[in-house]
Homo-oligomer: A and B are copies of this chain.
Amino acid sequence: MITLKQLAELSGTSIRTVRRVLDNYPHVNSEKRKLILDLAKKYNYVPNMAARSLRLQKKNFVGILFSAFDKNASLHKLNLLNEALINNGFYPLLGKIAENNQLECEKMFANWAGIAEFVVVFIQADHDFTQKEFLSSMHRKYPLKFIFADCDMHDAEYIVAVDRAGSVEQMVHQIAEMGFKHFLYCGKLPSRKQGIEKLMHSRLPMQISMIESNYEFENGELLGDSIASSNADVVFFDTDRMAAGFYSYAQKHRIKIPEDIAVVGLDNEIYGSYLNPPLSTLSHPSEELIQRIMDIILKGKCAVDPLPLKFIVRESLQK
């Protein structure tokens, strides 16, 4: 690690001159310029980030908090955000939310303060309410701007919302138009359920039923009998992995998808397209989400209308 000062000494000039050269300013004796450039290259001068940000009072880092790292969609968002940040000269700093240790979190935020201005929070809607409140309070305590991405928050300054309920509602309309007669919803997540409930008493030319259930793989499998005996011709699950569970049941019990019953999931997990037939799903608007996050970070502006999910129709949904 060579410093500017050393470079100045080696070249027999001063720091000021070295800087002019490295900054590609004009008005430098060309011999000195060459000498300095050679030396910089030889000793591979790299500016010290810590000193630079101290001097410039600049916050180049962006914190990233994830709670559910296990889903394909989370990974995709992380990838996109990472790339966008780096392309714009920021350094993505990964954090973690310590489940039962708020002190640890606070320590992390304390350390981030001073180098980061923004913290992007990806916490699944429907989960972690206490953590969201905690984070919300951190916003007041530390000089950090929290951007809540798809978190179902209402009282924070920077929010990028995703309208799951509205998108689910929209999807049901589309399915009704396709000619299905009996729509079954399996799950319990409010973000989905609310969309269905809005339709329960509408005069859609399609019957709507619900089965309350958890949303894991096993639940989709366990619910098989109930679904089969429901007479529904299309079933929608809270998650793709729950839908995958039903696929497993269907295969064992020789239920044909979509002939006997059409299936739709949510999350657009990679394996959905590996299933037979490929699973239809509601996909996260990851690109748009990241775009909005970057708008906040770069321009401080924040669109208010929530983003819709994208309805991806594959072979599992055909009439």
Contacts and interface: CB of A to CB of B under 8 A. Distances in A.
A251 B276 contact: yes
Interface stretch (A4-12, A23-31, A88-96): A88-96
Contact of A114 (B47, B141, B274): B47
Contact of A50 (B53, B83, B241, B270): B53
Interface string A103-129: 000001111111100000000000000
A274 B245 contact: yes
A241 B270 CA distance: 10
A90 to B, nearest CB: 10
A281 interface: no
A115 B275 CA distance: 45
How many identical chains are in the complex? Answer: 2
Interface residues of A, number: 52
Contacts of A53: 50
B46 A110 contact: yes
B271 A248 contact: no
A304 interface: no
A83 B97 CA distance: 10
A150 B123 CA distance: 30
Given A54-B54, A93-B92, A143-B1, A114 B276 contact: no
A237 interface: no
A270 B47 contact: no
A269 interface: yes
B248 A251 contact: no
A131 interface: no
Interface in A1-48: 1, 44, 46-48
A113 to B, nearest CB: 4
Given A143-B1, A244-B271, A94 B82 contact: yes
Contacts of A83: 96
